[in-house]
Amino acid sequence: MIRSIVLHDIPWTHVAAMERWYWRDHSPEIVRRYGPWTARHDSYLPVAAPAAASRFGLFNWRFTEGYWRDIPRSGRAGALAFTLPPVFPRVAVCFTPWQATDDILGGDTEGCARPILRWVMLHKFPAGAEAAAEHWFTGTHLPELARETSAWRVFSYRTVPDAPLPGVWPETRRPPPDHVLTGWHRVTELWFDDFDAWTASFAEAKARLTAPAWAETAIFPFLQAGKNFVSSFLLERPTDEFVRDARGYV
């Protein structure tokens, strides 16, 4: 069993057309064709973040999770091509286990005890530094996020090797290669009560976090934002649960 994650970023002027396409065409096509393989197909609209968060590679449109019992064979495999979107979003795609690899803080909190503002982050470590980065991440970075920031919930997933998402686009038009970001090593979530709590730690790099030897930047996230580090702010409840709601025509 595996979970797919897709973060989307679009020119915001196209949000109305993209929402129509996602609801009318794309999600029903996925659920109708691949429902036998999927347990859940949930999507979140990110919440607006403070201006200080812009340096953290924010993706502004949908964050979609697919919970797969198995990944169906890629390619056409008896299905039609996906309906083209009005514009191709820039997407960050990865796969994780269903359950977190490392749960550091807050797992004993009751479900309705406090508000949940999720900061979901994807990390891609420099080539050749993966082993050292993983040692720093688990031994130093995650404990510091729990100890030195105002997050009350901290956990992370090691990604699994990229598997192709099922389905194909028409031969005449495909996403530009630079619009699909893959090769991620970690997915991490920090939960806060509100943006004031987030700002207290991250708006001015106030958190005392140790930089690794291979750092691409001097301050957190220590990776090039928008390329090797992307993120979204989400609420606790999906905007849409498409396995439950979609009624695809084809």
- Is the pTM higher than 0.85? The answer reads yes
- pLDDT tens digits for range 121-140: 999 999 999 999 999 999 99
- Asked whether the beta carbons of 212 and 133 are under 8 A apart, the reply is yes
Q: Which amino acid is at 239?
A: T
Q: Does the pLDDT of residue 58 top 90, yes or no?
A: yes
Which tokens is 72 given? 């169906």
Confidence of residue 46 (pLDDT cuts 50, 70, 90): very high
- Asked if pLDDT for residue 249 goes beyond 80, the answer is no
Alpha-carbon dihedral angle through residues 124, 190, 116, 63, given to the nearest 10 degrees: 0
Per-residue pLDDT tens over the stretch 152-198: 999 999 999 877 889 999 999 999 999 999 999 999 999 999 999 99
The answer to whether residues 221 and 124 touch, using CB atoms and an 8 Å cutoff, is no
Buried b (16+ CB within 10 A) or exposed e, 84-95: ebeebbbbbbbb
Number of C-beta neighbours around residue 4 at 10 A: 19
Structure tokens at 75: 């390619």
Each domain of the chain, given as residue ranges in start order, spans 2-245
